[in-house]
Amino acid sequence: MISQQFEYSAPATLQEALDLLANEGAKPLAGGMSLIPMMKLRLAAPEQLIDIGRLRELNYIRREGEQMHIGAGTTHWDVESSPIVRAHCPLLSETVSNIGDIQVRNRGTIGGSAAHADPSADYPAAFCALEAQFKLVKKGGERVVGASDFFVDMLTTALESGEIIAEVIVPVEQRGTGVSYQKCVQPASGFAIVGVAVRVSSEFVRIGVTGLGAKAYRATNAEEIYTSTHDAAKAAAVVADGADSNSDIHASASYRKHLARIYTQRALKEAASRMG
């Protein structure tokens, strides 16, 4: 399990990093929890790694008005243990605590998880339910993309070459909103066979689903049914409709869809019980 040769640089500033990333063949390295295993299996072979994991500029959690701004380099553990996140975006705290083990959470980052776009990763379910915004930067440019446009396909995002996620923006949860993340764990990898993130209030419901298809999605049809009926079972029944479900030795397509329905129901009920 040895990667191909590569160059490594650890720029001191974001600007320097973006300059280096403008080079052909350069790739950002954050926590390395997904990239390094891919390199060791020789499924990825970048020529130049630009280590953005050490940039202070990308490591912060801030509340600004009704929004939370989380630097892309913030580790899973920093999000999990942040009192601000727990107070204002409890869905992220709960979701992130389900990722891997403590060693992984100590290194892996929110930006890395989003950029990697693993179809079984946990974060994307929450990003969909939170309608997260991603601030993307590159040499000489900056733009903001919403979760539904950001996740394009399996391991594929809207990121352009030379572009990185600088920040993840999520709403501050209003009083009276209940949240829940429910995950069916794949016993070998610990990733989600399915994971369902839910936010419910008297005004709205948001359902984000990961693990079922090639990318995480917002189950708007299920949201609509829940809004009109407040019946978790009825809403959950349609959550997998139209999904092109993954199938592997851990769960066939039909069982995965079944699990998506069960876990949606559980998440809806739990979130509703936490509305208070």
Partner 1 sequence: MATTTITKTEKLVGKAMRRQEDPRLITGSATYVDDIQMPGMLHACILRSPHGAANIKSVDIAAALAHPGVAAVYVGKDTEKVGPVPCGASLPGLRVPHHYVLAIDRVYFIGHPVAVVVATDKYIARDAVDLIEVEYETLQAVTDPEKAIGPGAPPVHPEWPDNVAFNYHQEGGDVDTAFAQAEVVVKQRITSQRLIPSSMETRGVVADYNTGDKALTIWSSTQIPHLMRTLVAQMLGAPEHKVRVVTPEVGGGFGSKLNVYAEEALMGFVAMKLGQPVKWIESRRENCMCTIHGRGHVDYFEVAAKKDGTILGIKLKLIQDLGAYHQLLTPAIPTLSVLMMPGLYRCQNVRADIVGAFTNAVPTDAYRGAGRPEATHGIERMVDILAAELKMDPAEIRLKNFIHNDEFPYATGTGLSYDSGNYAAPLHKAMDLIDYHNLREEQRQARSQGRLMGIGLSTYGEICAFGPSPATPAGGWESATVKIEPSGMVTVMTGSSPHGQGEETTFAQITADELGVGIDDVIVLHGDTAIVQYGIGTFGSRGTAVGGTAVYFALQELKKKIKKYGAMLLESEEVSFSDGVCVDHKTGKSVTLAEIAGASHRAMKLPPGTQPGMVETYFWEPPNFAFPFGAHAVVTEVNRETGDIEIKRYVAVDDCGNIINPLIVAGQVHGGVVQGLGQALWEQAVYDDNGQLITGEFMDYAIPRASMIPWIETEHTVTPSPVNPLGVKGVGEAGTIGCSPAVVNSVVDALSTLGVRHIDMPMTPEKIWNLMEGARA
Which residues would be at the binding site for partner 1 (CB under 8 A)? 1-2, 4-5, 41-42, 184, 186-189, 248-252, 255, 258-259, 262
Burial class (CB in 10 A: 0-12, 13-18, 19+), 242: exposed
Interatomic CA distance for residues 119 and 102, integer angstroms? 21
Nearest residue (CB) to partner 1, 231 versus 248: 248
Nearest residue (CB) to ligand FAD, 83 versus 187: 187
Interatomic CA distance for residues 2 and 89, integer angstroms? 39
Backbone angles phi, psi at 43, to 5 degrees: -90, -20
Amino acid at 245: S
- CA nearest to 34, candidates 135, 90, 112: 112
25-59 per-residue burial string, b: 16 or more CB within 10 A, e: under 16: ebbbbbbbbbbbebbeeeebebebbbbbbebeebb
With binding defined as CB under 6 A, does residue 158 bind ligand FAD? no
With binding defined as CB under 6 A, does residue 165 bind ligand FAD? yes
Q: Least distance (Å) from ligand FAD to the CB of residue 197?
A: 12
Interatomic CA distance for residues 151 and 146, integer angstroms? 9
Question: How many residues belong to the site for ligand FAD (CB under 6 A)?
Answer: 32
Q: Least distance (Å) from partner 1 to the CB of residue 273?
A: 18
Nearest residue (CB) to ligand FAD, 130 versus 205: 130
With binding defined as CB under 6 A, does residue 205 bind ligand FAD? no
Q: Least distance (Å) from partner 1 to the CB of residue 251?
A: 6
With binding defined as CB under 6 A, does residue 121 bind ligand FAD? yes
With binding defined as CB under 6 A, does residue 162 bind ligand FAD? no
- CA nearest to 23, candidates 35, 37, 9: 9
With binding defined as CB under 6 A, does residue 164 bind ligand FAD? yes
Nearest residue (CB) to partner 1, 6 versus 60: 6
Whether residue 190 contacts residue 250, with contact meaning beta carbons closer than 8 Å, is answered with no
Helix (H) or strand (E) run with residue 39 in it? helix 35-40
Q: Which residue is nearest to ligand FAD (CB)?
A: 108
Q: Least distance (Å) from ligand FAD to the CB of residue 127?
A: 11
Binding site for ligand FAD (CB under 6 A): 27-35, 37, 52, 72, 99-100, 104, 107-109, 111-113, 115-116, 118, 121-123, 159, 164-165, 190-191
